[in-house]
Amino acid sequence: MELEQLLKECKRGSVTAQKYLYDRYAVSMFLLCRRYVRSDEAAEEVMMNGFLKCFDTLPQFQYVNEAATVGWIRKIMVSQCLMHLRHHSFLQVALDEATEIAIDEEVLAHLSAEEIFKLITQLPTGYRTVFNLYAIEKYSHKEISEQLGISEGTSRSQLSKAKAMLQQLLISSNSDYAFRRMGSK
């Protein structure tokens, strides 16, 4: 079924259409939520709440194209993730600066998307949240500061610390990779 028709059916309250819409985007939205929250169970709960919010606000949504629809769903999911983090007091952003660590670009060549995803989920909540909003969702530091109730400087600091920690995790991951490679020879 075409997306525009699917959305019309969802607006009419068709449970079948809602299930199709859910099935169409559930995996990608779960992964989005999982980048923000630590457990699969919490990510699933947040995603489900996000889809409920989508269905509740769908009558106000005007279909333009699939990209706009996905962007709208993503925005709702990110908002739900931030609400979850605030509600559970997980979103506590530290104020001190992190130092940058030099890294060999070849490290990234040895990591799969799944390994990079796992590294991101290892970041502390504040770092992970700002990193996701800036690097993946493409929010500006001004937008992040408004969303999280922090200063733009704090947003920049958290991003810097997230990058530094990711670099440390990458170095560690690369050492593990080299060790595994040596063991297989």
A 10 A CB-CB count for 145 gives 18
d(CA 146, CA 63): 27
**CA distances to 29, 41, 82 from 119, in Å:** 19, 19, 20
Q: Just give the CATH number of 3-87.
A: 1.10.1740.10
Q: What CA–CA distance (Å, rounded) separates 134 from 166?
A: 14
Q: What is the pTM of this model?
A: 0.77
Express each pLDDT in 26-69 by its tens digit: 999 999 999 999 899 999 999 999 999 999 999 999 999 999 99
Over the chain, what is the mean pLDDT? 84
CATH number of 106-184: 1.10.10.10
- Model confidence band, residue 108 (pLDDT cutoffs 50, 70, 90): low
Question: What's CA 124's distance to the chain center, in Å?
Answer: 14
Domain definitions of the chain by residue range: 3-87, 106-184
Alpha helices in 12-124 (DSSP H): 15-36, 40-57, 66-87, 106-109, 113-121
Residue in 126, 119, 133, 128 with CA at minimum distance from that of residue 77: 133
Mean pLDDT of 82-107: 60
As a residue count, the chain comes to 185
Q: How would residue 114 be classed by pLDDT, with cut points 50, 70 and 90? A: confident
Could you give the angle at which helices 15-36 and 113-121 cross, rounded to 10 degrees?
70
Is the confidence at residue 91, as pLDDT, over 70? no
Lowest mean pLDDT across 44-58, 63-77, 120-134: 120-134
pLDDT of res. 88: 80
Contact present, 144 and 130 (Cβ < 8 Å): yes
Question: Which residue, among 99, 79, 102, has the nearest Cα to 91 in the 3D structure?
Answer: 79
